[in-house]
Amino acid sequence: MDEVDGLVRQEGVTVWVDYTSPTTDDLAGIETALGLHRLAVEDAVHEHQRPKLDRYPKHLFLAAYHAELGAASNELKVSEIKAFITKRALVTVHGPDMDPGDLTAHWDAEPDLTVHGTSFLLWGLLDLIVDGHFDTVQELDARIDALEDILFDDHAPDHDLQRGSFQLRKSLVQLRRAVLPMHEVLNTLLRRDLEVLDPVMQPYLQDVYDHVLRVSEWTESLRDLVTTILETHISIQGNRMNLVMKKVTSWAAIIAVPTAVTGFFGQNVPFLGFQSPLGLVLSLSLIVIASAGLYLSFKKKEWI
């Protein structure tokens, strides 16, 4: 940490320090060298922080989430990223799920902005996080479209549709929790009174803020769409059940005709055609005519 302390005191030098799953003791040296606030250090080592940007006398503290959708499932994978931002240093803290090489590659793609020091590093970090949110919501949109195709497939298992809808809705809720607080984070960074940031980087941060707004609106619309898919699925199931019940009822009514006729002619008291060929002709005629009449009537109403 003596080397870091010496570097941050030099003009024109920007330092990036990266930690993977550190403890409070691991951050003790950098805490002293950069004058980090004790509460910020505690937040950095504790998981499940709400996305936020805290202001302290000597630095800023950022907590955010990187999101990625599983390739083989609709499960959303989120990883926490914390950062201490000073005028000449950026300290990132994250778990083993994040590859620092992705962040380095993102910075290397914009070499002309490196002269802006920590402001450039912070912009690169936020841009990587929000781009991940954007890619995730885009992939969720594609998978919801595929779910819509299954919705009207008569041979698709209902279990797959219901499970897929539930998983996608759960992932959208998780993504929303990661995205919505980023409004406040970017709003704070866009304020002109933050001494640790270079005003030249304001348009780039504004661009990130615009992406956050778009992802937020997209996420909300997809949540409504998943809800609509579930409601439509229930409606389709209800319509199919009504159709089945119509068919069952129609055939039951047709089958009831022979039962009623044979029951009537099976009486043990004299009636028209009793113990004569006329009775057989009457009973068969009634069965055929009544059954055919019911069948044609139900067919016309598209019940069978």
Average pLDDT over residues 223-239: 82
Helix 118-151 vs helix 202-264: angle between axes, to the nearest 10 degrees?
10
Q: Where are the beta strands (DSSP E) in 131-197?
A: none
Task: Give the pLDDT score at 154.
Answer: 67
Give whole-number Cα distances, 17 to 20, 42, 126, 145, 211, in Å: 10, 17, 16, 42, 27
In the numeric block, which tokens belong to residue 20?
Answer: 């993977």
Statement: residue 168 has pLDDT above 60: yes
Higher pLDDT, 221 or 303: 221
- Tokens 């595929």 map to which residue? 146
Look over the chain and give the mean of its residue pLDDT values, rounded to a whole number: 85
pLDDT in tens, 29-61: 899 888 899 999 999 999 888 999 999 988 999
Domain boundaries, the chain: 2-238, 239-300
Alpha carbon distance 23, 46 (integer Å): 9
Per-residue pLDDT for 2 more than 70? no
CATH of 2-238, one of 3.40.50.11540, 3.40.50.720, 3.90.1150.10, 3.30.460.20: 3.30.460.20
Per-residue pLDDT tens for 122-147?
999 999 999 999 999 999 999 888 88
**Banded model confidence at residue 22, pLDDT cuts 50, 70, 90:** very high
pTM above 0.85, yes or no: no
Q: How far apart are CA 223 and CA 168, in angstroms?
A: 9
What's the mean pLDDT in 58-69? 92
pLDDT at position 269: 57
Q: Which residue has the higher pLDDT, 156 or 148?
A: 148
Q: What are phi and psi of 268, to 5 degrees?
A: -100, 25
Written as six digits, the tokens of 26 are: 């691991």
Residue 227 and residue 83: Cα distance in Å, rounded?
36
